[in-house]
Structure 1
């Protein structure tokens, strides 16, 4: 199982070091991907711009949106161009993870009807696919193949059908190893029924904190980010891994559940978190 690390784009106090220095450290430490999570009505850095900055100072590590709330990007042609540009500049390292999200304030700010988000998303996926295939003359072309690497999130049957039709794999969100193990068979079944060969790539998300004050940092960062979510907020905080033993257990749990990659997102902006996580994940 590959192990990636998130950029602290949603953590209070993030600055240039939290993108540029963090990205360099993550690549040097051997992580597979740099990830971002997405909000609009929040004091966070925008995902695609953050990954473009990371692309400029790295050479190997993948650049992953986990996820980008696609229906908020109402100009699908522009979104296709932005993603393909990062893919070309990074020589094929862009991994676009997309889903519909669910924050009403994000949709209100974008002047998009959240009740139509599923239909909008389906139309976007078809349009992105056609643009990347060269229809309409909108370039640049993806670095290799018919599209940048594409993952689709969601835990409904309709989501799994989208994965099988359009994507390279599924991003499972942060429900924990047990939820992944319970849902993965349905994703694989949809993939097989669509006539796809092999298995969909499966990426999962977790949160971590290491070093002094890890538990307090988790509660503060995730408590603020998920303040809108009611009881789910506490579930996210309780599910985050505080300390080396908890991080190791989370990694082992996702490995046993069948994840191809686990991306661990930080709750601190201190770039030292990269090295602390590498010690636990890779034994160095």
Structure 2
């Protein structure tokens, strides 16, 4: 199983130079990917821009939106162009992870309704794939640039419903779980595989998951401070999310082993702080 690390693009107070230093050191530490999470109504950096900055200072590590809330990007052709641009800039290292999103304030701030978002999401995915296929749109031809991989960057879809699993099988290259236990992952992953087979797709989809972490002497306080704020809109559930964060090397090792046993192909540990020591501490825990 590959082990990735999140970029602290949503951690309040993270300055731009820290994002660049984090990207460089994460690559040097050998992590498989830099992941981003995101929402609109929060003081964080937009994911595609943050990963473009990371692409400029790295050369090997994958760059994954885990996940981008696609319905907030109402212009699907423009989103396809942005994704293709990052794909080219990074020499094919970009992985586009997308999901529906579930916070009403993000949609309200965008002037969008949450109603019908699943249908719009599917239309959006199909439109992006048409753009990446080189379909001509006007006198100048296709919407470019051409992606490094034929058909577009690797497309990973989030979600935990049967409709989400069907979308993975019909339109995606893989699936990602945004949070939960290894047992929850195993159950959902089996459903994803079943949908994949039912759709007649060869092989198997790539399956990823996220897990929050904080390490060091103030690990629990750091995890609580960030996660209780970021997930405060969920009420009491925010405390459950905070409590699930890996706050010791043993917890990190245990999570990695359990997710690997559950069939996870890549586990991305998402930071709750932006201190550069977190990279070295995580690398040591998963070595």
TM exceeding 0.5: yes
Indicate the structure with greater helix content: 1
Q: Structure 1 segments of 4 or more deviating over 6 A? A: none
SS in 2 for 1:24: helix
- In the other structure, the counterpart of 1:8 is 8
> Within the alignment, does 1:45 sit opposite 2:50 as a pair?
no
* SS in structure 2 at match of 1:3: strand
**Cα-to-partner distance string for 1:196-216 (whole Å, 9 max, x where unaligned):** 111110010000001110000
Of 149, 153, 156, 1:151 maps to 156
Query: Is 1:24 aligned to residue 29 of structure 2?
Result: no
Aligned equivalents of 1:231 and 1:198: distance in 2?
A: 40
How many residues align? The count is 282
Q: After superposition, give the CA deviation of every residue in 1:109-130 in whole Å (9 maximum; x if it has no partner).
A: 1111111211110110110110
Alpha-carbon distance in 1 for matches of 2:216, 2:239: 21
The residue number in structure 1 matching 2:99 is 99
- Which position in structure 1 is the counterpart of 2:247? 242
**Contact in 2 for aligned 1:17/1:271 (Cα 8 Å):** no
CA RMSD of aligned residues (A): 0.8
Cα deviation, 1:177-204, whole Å, max 9, x if unaligned, reads 1110111111000001111111110010
Residue from 198, 222, 231 that aligns with 1:193:
198
Which residue pairs with 2:180 in the alignment? 175
Unaligned runs of 5+ in 1: none
Q: What SS does structure 2 have at the residue aligned with 1:19?
A: helix
Distance in 1 (alpha carbons) for counterparts of 2:237 and 2:18 = 27
The range that moved more, 136-145 or 219-228, is 136-145
Provide the C-alpha distance between the structure 2 equivalents of 1:252 and 1:236, rounded to a whole number of angstroms.
20
Q: Which aligned pairs between 1:45-64 and structure 2 lie closer than 5 A?
A: 45-64=45-64
Distance (Å, rounded) in 2 between the aligned partners of 1:40 and 1:23: 22
